[in-house]
Amino acid sequence: MSESRTVTAAALAIGDELLSGRTRDRNIGHLAELLTAAGIDLEEVRIVPDDQERIVEALNALRARYDYVFTSGGIGPTHDDITADAVAAAFGVACSHDADALALLDAHYAERGMEFTEARRRMARMPVGSRHIDNPVSKAPGFVIGNVHVMAGVPSVFQAMLDNVLPTLNTGVKMHSEKVSCPYGEGDIGDPLSAIAEAHPTVNIGSYPRFSGDRFSTEIVIRGRDQAAIAAARRDVEAMLSSTGSRLAPKAV
């Protein structure tokens, strides 16, 4: 995959709390930013409840379609943490206590004088054949099986696991992006911007409105894998903004 121009990914966030509004997801945006910086295109995100059938269905759809899938949530010690079982079911393999993970956790809790409860032992369960993802924050590992990376939902743990995962991934040609701030609303620049987008088919030109008080401004983002093409599109955008300024400004006497 390191030879191909694009490497694709999907995210699957798992948890009733994300769908009830109790918890606002903080992992998807972080993952998106780091994957983009690494040259991996996040192409789809799904959020599903703690329900095995729904997790299996989403995971199988995503892992068949994208180079990588990253999951968050549901790998803790309680009864509602069913991600390991669901991932095993999706791959059609058993989910069992991993000997290395048990040893790791046993030592961790012994060191801290904490009981290694049956609940904590649950965190050593993973699909047979998985590799660990180290967890420097709270020890219980995530895991990788096939192209699926299973990580914690607690943001500090998710981030630490992702930092360990990123260097192991194949990456594509990096996507570059440049921003141009535009003081006019999208309605004022939409027509000429559309013409610029058509004239520069190798870049992707995004236009993002900001609304404050009673007026819109716009951030224009030019994205692409070829920096010269981005620069050429940027010149056209900047020229367009100057002429929009002249058009909209009250005529000088």
Which residues 125-164 are close enough to bind a copy of itself by CB under 8 A? 137-138, 154, 156-157
Neighbours of 104 (CB within 10 A): 19
**Shorter beta-carbon distance to a copy of itself: residue 13 or 145:** 13
**Shorter beta-carbon distance to a copy of itself: residue 28 or 93:** 28
* Listed residue (99, 93, 86) closest to 132, CA to CA: 99
Exactly one of 93, 176, 183, 216 binds a copy of itself (CB under 8 A); that residue is: 216
Indicate if the alpha-carbon torsion angle 70, 76, 80, 82 is positive or negative: positive
User: Interface with a copy of itself by CB under 8 A: which range of 15-23, 89-97, 126-134, 235-243?
Assistant: 15-23
Supply the DSSP symbol for 166.
G
Q: Among the residues of 69-185, which ranges form H helices?
A: 83-91, 99-111, 118-122, 155-165
Exactly one of 55, 151, 197, 241 binds a copy of itself (CB under 8 A); that residue is: 197
User: Interface with a copy of itself by CB under 8 A: which range of 88-96, 161-169, 198-206, 233-241?
Assistant: 198-206
Does 23 bind a copy of itself (CB under 8 A)? Our answer is: yes
Q: Which whole-number Å values give the CA distances from 103 to 22, 77, 119, 232, in the listed order?
A: 34, 16, 15, 57
CA 174 to the chain's CA centroid: 16
Task: List, in order, residues 6 or more apart from 249 with CB less than 8 Å away.
Answer: none
Residues numbered 29 to 48 that lie near a copy of itself (CB under 8 A) are 29-37, 41-48
**Shorter beta-carbon distance to a copy of itself: residue 68 or 145:** 68
Tell the smallest beta-carbon distance from residue 199 to a copy of itself (Å).
11
Q: Quick check: helix, strand or coil at residue 114?
A: coil
Task: List, in order, residues 6 or more apart from 48 with CB less than 8 Å away.
Answer: 12, 13, 14, 54, 55, 58
Exactly one of 191, 199, 227, 243 binds a copy of itself (CB under 8 A); that residue is: 191
- Token duo for residue 148: 């699926």
Tell the smallest beta-carbon distance from residue 224 to a copy of itself (Å).
12
Q: Which residues pair with 134 in a beta bridge?
A: none
Tell the smallest beta-carbon distance from residue 192 to a copy of itself (Å).
9
Judge contact between 124 and 102, C-beta under 8 A.
yes
Exactly one of 111, 201, 211, 253 binds a copy of itself (CB under 8 A); that residue is: 211
Exactly one of 2, 3, 5, 20 binds a copy of itself (CB under 8 A); that residue is: 20
**Shorter beta-carbon distance to a copy of itself: residue 105 or 145:** 105
Exactly one of 1, 93, 221, 232 binds a copy of itself (CB under 8 A); that residue is: 221
Residues numbered 55 to 114 that lie near a copy of itself (CB under 8 A) are 76-81, 109, 114
Supply the DSSP symbol for 61.
H
Exactly one of 53, 190, 202, 235 binds a copy of itself (CB under 8 A); that residue is: 190
